């Protein structure tokens, strides 16, 4: 069946470090792909999306490229801030529902 796998956390970085959170998926067809972010005690916020192969989603300095050949959608940011500390979820959309990875906790230290 369809599934999403994310790199295990927690990930701890210093401010201004480069961030990569790996995400790979298994799906039939060509699902839309998403990154959501969850701050402590809150719901999920859409961070970025891509709807077809080679699309690049971007928002707030975060980027992810839909790679069909490697079935991946890795999240990157060139310089993280303390305020980026949160849990990040990769998800695919198929058949009306979202299928999420297990989440990756990011902690950014000053």
Partner 1 sequence: ETGVTQSPTHLIKTRGQQVTLRCSSQSGHNTVSWYQQALGQGPQFIFQYYREEENGRGNFPPRFSGLQFPNYSSELNVNALELDDSALYLCASSLAGGLAKNIQYFGAGTRLSVL
The CA distance from 91 to 6, in Å, is: 10
Residue 23: is it exposed, middle or buried by C-beta count within 10 angstroms (0-12/13-18/19+)? buried
Residue with tokens 């599934």: 3
The CA distance from 79 to 76, in Å, is: 9
Q: Is 49 in the site for partner 1 (CB under 8 A)?
A: yes
Q: Is 29 in the site for partner 1 (CB under 8 A)?
A: no
Pick the closer one to partner 1 by CB: 26 or 79.
26
Can you tell me which of 13, 44, 65, 67 binds partner 1, judged by CB under 8 A?
44
Can you tell me which of 24, 76, 100, 107 binds partner 1, judged by CB under 8 A?
100
Chain mean position to CA 75 = 5
Q: Is 16 in the site for partner 1 (CB under 8 A)?
A: no
Pick the closer one to partner 1 by CB: 9 or 17.
9
What is the number of residues in the chain?
110
| Residues lying near partner 1 in the complex (CB under 8 A) | 4, 32, 36, 42-46, 49, 51, 89, 91, 93, 95-103
């Amino acid at each position: 069946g369809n599934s999403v796998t994310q790199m295990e956390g927690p990930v701890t970085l210093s401010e201004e470090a480069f961030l990569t959170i790996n995400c790979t998926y298994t799906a039939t067809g060509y699902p839309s792909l998403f990154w959501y972010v969850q701050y402590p005690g809150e719901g999920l916020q859409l961070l970025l999306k891509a709807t077809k192969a080679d699309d690049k989603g971007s928002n707030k300095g975060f980027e992810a490229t839909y790679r069909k050949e490697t079935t991946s959608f890795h999240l990157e940011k060139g310089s993280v801030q303390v305020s980026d500390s949160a849990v990040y979820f990769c998800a695919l959309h198929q058949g009306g529902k979202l299928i999420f990875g297990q989440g990756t906790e990011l902690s950014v230290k000053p």
